[in-house]
Structure 1
C-alpha cells in the first residue's frame, strides 16, 4: 500500500500536522507512521556546506597561495550531531512504499533550503511525487488548506536557487575574505592587542556592513561638537490664562537671514536674544496683535500591520528585549497557533485573507484584552471594507502576509510567560486598530506680532480618538487611572502641543486646560492680547543617537537608513540588508565575537575596541563590504533569482568575479603599518 510522507522542519510542527491529519499513528524513533501516511521531521539543518579541507586536505592550512578559493562544484555533508535523524529521514524518503512527499518545512527561503539539501544528500529519485506545503499559520484549518493546495515542488525551483546562492555567497565571501584579511592583517591586530596568537578576522556580506553602520555612528557622535543656541519665548495672557509663543526670524523681521541666527528660531549668542527682548520691551505694557489664526482638522490613520522588523523595533522600545528574543517569542506564539508566520517582510494582508478575516476577529472575542473591540468590529461590520483599504495589497506580499493573531490557540495562552503575553497583546492591538477610523485632531496655529517681530504658537487637540482607544496596552502603567475620554497633553517640547500621542509612544498624563483652549478658539485676527513677559530659553544641538537593537533592525531593513516615517519605509521595502529571518542572528554573532556590545537593559549597541579595529582593516582593504547600498543590492539580486528575473548562473558569475577581484586586491596590498596610527587613535577611546 502506497503512503504519503510529510516532512516538517521541527518535531513540534510534525505533531501539529499529525493532529490536523487526524492520523492514528504509531510512534517510532524519529517518525510516526499510520496506515496511509508517515510524518517525520528535520531538526533545523541536517546538511551543511563542507569546509575547504574536504576538497583538498592542503586547504586546511591558511595560505595566500590557495586564495581565492572558488570550487567548480560545492560539496555538502551531514552535520555530525544530527546524523541519526538524517539517516532516518533518508530511509523514509527512499522507501518503496512512499510515492508522495509533502515538504512541510517553514514556508520561506531558508525552509526551502533545509529540505532541498536533505533531498540532495538522500538521493531521492525524481520519480516520486513531491509537493510543497506553504502555510501562514499552524492552525488545523491552514495546515489542511496547505496540504490540499500544495503545488509541485518544482514550482519553487527559483526560490531554491536563491537559497543555494545565498549560502554560496556567504560561504565564498566568509572563507575568502576572512582568510585573506587574517593572513594580511591578523598579526598586526594581535601585536597591537599584545596577543600571542594571530587574530582571526571574521567578516561577512551582511555582518561587516552592520559593523560599519555602528562604528560610523559612534565616530559621528565622538566628532560632534555641541552648539548652544538661544530662543526667545513670549508668555501671552488671555483672561487670566497663559500660553507661549516662540520668536522666529521670518521675512519682515529685522533679523531675517542675518548671521546672528543659528536657525530662524534661535540666536548663536545670548547677547542677540537679550537685544531682541530689550527692543520689544521699550513700550510698556507690552502688547501683541493676532496676525493670523488657522484652525484645521488632521487625521492620523492606524499604522500598517507588523512585519518582523517592525515588531522587533516595537518590542525593543516597549520591553527592552533584543530582536533575537522577540523572534523566539513570536516563533513560540506561531507554534502555539496564536499568531501567523513571523518571518515576514510584509506589513499588509492578502485579498484572500481579508475575505476570511471575520474568523480571526470572532476568535479574539475569547481574549480578555480584545473581546470588546472584536465584538464592536463584528457588530458594526467595519471589517467588510478592509479589502479596499491600504492594509490589503497583494503586490506588497512575497512569501507571507503581515503578523496577525489567528484568533485561535488560547488553550496554550496560560502557559506563556509575561513577555510572550505582552508581545501577543501588542500584535493583537495593532491588528484591531486597522478596523477603526483615524484619530482626528484639531490643530490651531497662531501668529502674534510684537512690534515688527512674529511669535508662533501651536496647539493640537484630540477631537476623536478613533483607533487610539485600541492602542493603550494593559501592561503600560501610564495608561492606568487615566480617563481615556479626556484629551491629554503630550510630552512635546512645546507645551502648547496638546494631543494624545497614541501608538504606545511616550505621553504625559497632564490634563489639558480646556478653558484655555476655548479662549484660544475665540481669538480673531487683529485682536490685541497682553504679553506677560519675554524670556530666553537656552538649548544646544544634539549628537546623532546610537542605534538600539530595534532601530538597527529597521535600519538593516531599509538599506542602512533609519527611516522613521512608515510611508517612506514602505517605498524602499525590498532593498534591505539581510532578511527578516537572519537580522537578529547577525546582531547576535557580532556581539558573540565581541565586535559589538549590546547593553541588555537599554538595548543600546556600541562598537568594541576590536570591532573598531576590524572596521579600519576592512576600510583599508575591502571597503565595499561596508557599503549598505551595495550589500542590499546583493540581497535584491537574490530576490531577482527567486522571481525568475535573472538566472542562477548569471548571479554566480557576478559573485565569483567580485570575490576574486576583492581577494586578489587584498593580496597585493602592503598597508599594514599604515593601520597602526588608526589603532592607536581607537585605543584612546577605550582607556579605562
Structure 2
C-alpha cells in the first residue's frame, strides 16, 4: 500500500517530515519511515496554488481580445499549471496517481482544501479506487502533527469545503472577467484611461472607504457649548461635568439654562450631595482572532494587515504560535489545559513573577461551542530561548510578545480598582466627577499602558470629600466643535469588513452577515486591501487609507449598481456559498444566479457610465499628477511621476524610463531621487545587510539603462 501526504508548500512539508522518525529528502518530495505509516509513504507539496483557472483566451478565439464578445461563460471550467510550476506538478502528479491513499495535508481551511483537491483532480488522481483522508491541525509542533496524523478525518468530510471554495473561486473569476473589461471599456469611452477591476469583496470594501472619505470631506463642523466645573476643596481641586450632560447651541442658551437653575458662570458655593465608592474588577483582554490582532498591531506598530498576517504566519511556521487564519477569540478546554501546564515557562520567558490565580477556564476565553474550525491565536507548547527570540525580526518579536502577554494574562489576577463617584450640587444642577485608585494591578503588569488602557481607566484620583460638605465650584462655558468620523486605517477597515452587517438595512442580509462575520474571510481581508493598493484605488497616508482619484471615479461609476457596492450582495452570496459547504446548495444553482447578475450589468452599466460627469475627475487627476512630479526625465525631458513602488516617465509608452523606488530594500528619499535624475551619485543610508540586522551606507548612481548600481561604501 502506498500513501502520499499532500502539503501546501515546501515549508509545511518540511515541518511534517521533521515530526516523523525518519525521512529522506528527494527532488520535490520526502520519503517517510514511521510507526504511524507502516507502508510506503511520501510527502510532496505544491507552491500554494499549483493549479489556477485558465484564461478566457484558452477557451475560445473570440475571447482573446479584451472586452470583446461578452459575456464570457465557459461551458466547462478549465484549470492550468503555470510554466514555472510544471516541474513540481509533474512530480506531484506521478506520486498521486500511484498512491492508494492520499492524505490532504494543506492548510486547515477552505482554501487549503480547494488547493489540494484542485491538484488531485488536475493530476487525474481522483478515483473511487483510492482512499482519501484529511489532516486538520492548529499547530506545526511535532506533537500536534503526530496527533493529527493519528486522528485523520475522512476525505469525504473535506470535499464540501472544496466545493464551496471552488464555487467562490469560479464566481469571482466570472465577475472579474466580465465586469472588469465592461467598466474599463465604458470608462475609456468617457476618456478615463487605465484598467479597472471589479471584485465581489474588493468593490464593496473600496466603496466603504470612499463613503467614509466623502463623509469627512463634506462634514460641516458645528460649534456648541458645554458647562465645565472645577470643584475647589482645601489644598486640592477636581474637574466636574454637568449630569446629565447637555450641549447648547449658543452661549446665551447655556447662560439661560444656568440662570433657570440658580447657577451662574464663575465661582460660587456648592454642596457635595453624594460620594459613592465601589470596588470594581476588569478581566484581561480577549484572546486574538486574526482580525483583532491585525487591528491591534496596526494601532500599536503601524503595520499593514498583510504584514501582520505574514508575521503571524511565519511565527506559526516557526512553531511558536498557533494557526493564524482564525475568526474566533475563543479556545477549547484542550488548549486551556496545555497552556495551563506550560504557564510557568511562559511567565519565565516574559520575566513575570505575578501569581497564577485564574486556573479554571472562563467563558470569556474558553468556549468549545464557539470554536468551529480553528481556535484563537495563542502560544504553542514551545517557548523560545533568549538566543532564538533575538534572531527573530523586530516585528516578529513585537507580534509574538503581544500574543504571549495576551495569552498569559488570562491566567493572572483581574485588574482591581476602587471607583469613586462624586455628585456636586450647584443650585438645582448636579455635576459628576469620577476617579479610580488601583489596588491590584493583576494582569496589567504585563502591558505598557498604551497596550491595554481604555478611556475609562484614565480617570483621575479624587481627593477625600464627605456628603454635605460645602465647597466652591468655578463654572465655565467651553466652546467646542462637532467632529467628523475618523478615516479608516488598515486596522479599522479590517474590523469594518468583519462587522459589515452594521451598514446594511435589510434585516435578512444583516443576520447573514452576523453569522458569516461580515464580508471577506479572515484569510482574504488583508489581501483585498493589498489589491486595492496595487490597483491604485487607495493608498496609505500617515496610517490612514485615502481613496485616489482613480478609486473615486470607479466608485462613482459603480454606485448605480447597489449590489456591487453594498455588503448586502456579499451577505447573500456568502449565505448560499456556506450552504454549499453544508451540502444544502449546489454549485450549478449559484453560478446560474451569478450569470444572471452579469447579464444585468452588461445591460445597465453602459447607461450608468454615459450619465457619469467626469469633469471633476479630470481636474483632480491633473492636480494629483502634478503633486506626483519629482523631476525631469533624463531621456526625454518629460515629467518623472511617483508611482506605487517606482518612478516613471509621463510620456510612457513613448518613453519607457523608470527608476526604482528603493535600493536593496531601503526606500530612496527625495534628495536621492533628485540627485539620481540629475546624473549625480547619491548616498543611501542604513541599507540592511543580508541575514543580519546590521546596516551600511551605500554610494550609488544610475547606469545607462537607468538601473541603480552601487559605487562603493561610505561612512
Residue in structure 1 matched with residue 94 of structure 2 by the alignment: 91
- The alpha-carbon deviation at position 92 of structure 1 amounts to 1.1
Q: 1:282 and 1:606, CA in 2 relative to 1: closer, same or farther beyond 3 A?
A: closer
Q: What residue in structure 2 maps to residue 618 of structure 1?
A: 558
Question: Equivalent residue for 1:334?
Answer: 316
CA deviations over 1:373-399 (Å, ceiling 9, x no partner): 5xx33xx5x33x21x523122222222
Structure 1 distance, partners of 2:451, 2:108, is: 34
Counterpart of 1:641? 580
Aligned match of 1:121: 122
Larger mean Cα displacement after TM superposition, 389-398 or 554-563: 554-563
Q: What residue number does 2:19 align with?
A: 20
Q: Which has the higher contact order (CA 8 A, sep 6+)?
A: 1
Q: Which runs of 5+ in 1 are unaligned?
A: 191-197, 251-263, 473-478, 480-500
Alpha carbons 2:419, 2:435 under 8 Å: kept: yes
Cα distance in 2 for partners of 1:623, 1:684 equals 29
For residues 250-305 of structure 1, the C-alpha deviation after alignment (integer angstroms, 9 at most, x for no partner) is 5xxxxxxxxxxxxx533222344456678867799721123333333333222221
Do the aligned partners of residues 283 and 72 (structure 1) sit closer, same or farther apart at CA in structure 2, a change above 3 Å counting? closer
Choose 669-678 or 6-15, whichever is displaced more: 669-678
Mapped partners of 1:359, 1:93: distance in 2: 41
User: 1:52 aligned to 2:50?
Assistant: no
* Correspondence for 1:270: 251
TM-score under structure 1 normalisation? 0.82
Tell me the equivalent position of 1:9.
Answer: 8
Shift of 1:682: 5.9
- Residue number in structure 2 paired with 1:431: 407
- 2:495 is aligned to 554
Aligned residue among 527, 542, 545 for 2:483: 542
Query: 645-654 or 148-157, which moves further after superposition?
Result: 645-654
Q: What are the residue-to-residue correspondences of 1:253-264 with 2, within 5 Å?
A: 264=245
Residue deviations 1:169-196 (CA, integer Å, cap 9, x gap): 2101111111221222233152xxxxxx
Q: Decide whether the 8 Å contact of 1:213 with 1:560 is kept in 2.
A: no
Aligned residues: CA RMSD:
3.0
Where does residue 353 of structure 1 map in the other structure? 335
**1:213-243: CA deviation from partner (whole Å, max 9, x where unpaired):** 1110110001111111222222212222111
**2:452 pairs with 1:503:** yes
- Distance in 2 (alpha carbons) for counterparts of 1:202 and 1:579: 20
Secondary structure of the 1:266 match is coil
Q: Which residue of 1 aligns with 2:27?
A: 29
Kept in 2, the 8 Å contact 1:575–1:635? The answer is: no
Q: Deviations over 1:532-576 (max 9, x none)?
A: x2222221111110001111111111126599xxxx999936231
Q: Secondary structure at the match of 2:321?
A: coil
Q: 1:311 aligns with which of 260, 280, 293?
A: 293
Could you say if the C-alpha distance between residues 370 and 332 of structure 1 is closer, same or farther in structure 2, counting changes exceeding 3 Å?
Answer: farther
SS in 1 for 2:552: helix
- Aligned counterpart in structure 2 of residue 392 of structure 1, from 366, 369, 373: 366
Which structure carries more strand by proportion? 2
Name the CA shift for 1:283/1:89 in 2 (closer, same or farther; >3 Å): closer
Q: Deviation per CA, 1:130-174, whole angstroms, max 9, x where unpaired? A: 211111010001100111111121111110111101101210111
Match status 1:461 vs 2:437: yes
Q: Secondary structure, in 3 states, of the residue corresponding to 1:40?
A: strand
Q: Is 1:674–2:675 an aligned residue pair?
A: no
Q: Partners of 1:578 and 1:18 in 2: how far apart?
A: 33
For this pair of structures, how many residues does the alignment match? 611
Give, in angstroms, the shift of residue 453 of structure 1: 2.6
Please identify, of 654-663 and 66-75, the stretch whose mean Cα deviation from structure 2 is larger: 654-663
For residues 466 and 573 of structure 1, what CA distance do their matches in structure 2 show?
35
1:402 alignment counterpart: 376
Matching of residue 628 in structure 1 with residue 630 in structure 2: no
Distance 1:372 1:659, change over 3 A: farther
- Once residues 85 and 128 of structure 1 are traced to their aligned partners in structure 2, the CA distance between those partners, rounded to angstroms, is 22
Aligned to 1:445: 421
Cα deviation for residue 245 of structure 1 reads 1.7
Conserved 8 A contact 2:500-2:513: no
Return the alpha-carbon distance in structure 2 between the equivalents of residues 590 and 456 of structure 1: 47
